[in-house]
Amino acid sequence: MTDSTHANKTESVIPTPHIEAAKGDFADVVLMPGDPMRAKFIADNFLDDAKLVTAVRGMFGYTGTYKGVSVSVMGSGMGIPSIGIYSYELFNFYDVKKIIRIGTCGAISKDLEIFDIVASMAASYDTSFVKQYNLPGTYSAVASYELLRLADDTAKKLGIKLHVGSTVTCDSFYDEMSQVPSWRKMNVIAVEMEAAGLYMVAAAAEKEALALMTISDKVEGSEGTTSEQREKSLTNMITLALETAIAS
């Protein structure tokens, strides 16, 4: 591995290896969809005076205002390794205070329907990402209580049904040996690929994080959504995240 793989935050400079923004270009709160095109969609349709502040490797990041409050939105890519890099650099180099993941997930609970919104209270995981922290036990990846509380209160005010519960973060998208029944037995309601890593990075940086996700498919069944639907039909989740961001 190269030295940059294990870059120490005290030795790194802005711009970082993966973000070309200048110091001060990001707001205190950053919304992070996985898809950079969804970040562009949010900037174009929800933010005022949005400015592109980074586009390294096509991972677009914007800063604008929502109801007069500065908010940023930036893609995270897919999986813990990708969101782990971007969230680390945002928290540790750009002094971002809070990151709200806004993505999609697969329903494990039979009570969830397509386009329902989930807030990950705690994220179980099957990743080795946690090994870097050299912990003498099993780590619990959890959301910021403050952000979770605000999101829940905001959802009620907006009349949006929010399912708060445990999720699981997996490294594999195509799981040929599905463990869905086992997770369901433990009351895990949805599966995705980023939340646990984001929560770990936030905890280590003493910052706040929350994952809000829209159900895009059911992991046991054929019902799902198209990429265009996932990009443009997540208005309730995006609105909830923005309202939570400005309330925080």
> Residue 18 is part of a domain; what is its CATH number?
3.40.50.1580
Counting the structural domains of the chain, the total is 1
Q: Which two tokens stand for residue 241?
A: 């995240």
124 three-class SS: strand
Residue 210: domain span: 3-247
Radius of gyration (C-alpha) of the chain in whole angstroms? 17
Q: Which residues are catalytic?
A: 217
User: What pLDDT digit, counting tens, does each position of 67-110 carry?
Assistant: 999 999 999 999 999 999 999 999 999 999 999 999 999 999 99
State the pLDDT at residue 8.
Answer: 55
Residue that is written with structure tokens 């604008």 in the block? 64
Cα-based distances in Å from 89 to 55, 137, 159, 198, 204: 15, 26, 35, 12, 12
| pLDDT for residue 4 is more than 90 | no
Cα-based distances in Å from 179 to 119, 172, 175, 195, 220: 21, 12, 8, 18, 11
Cβ atoms within 10 Å of 2's Cβ, excluding its own: 7
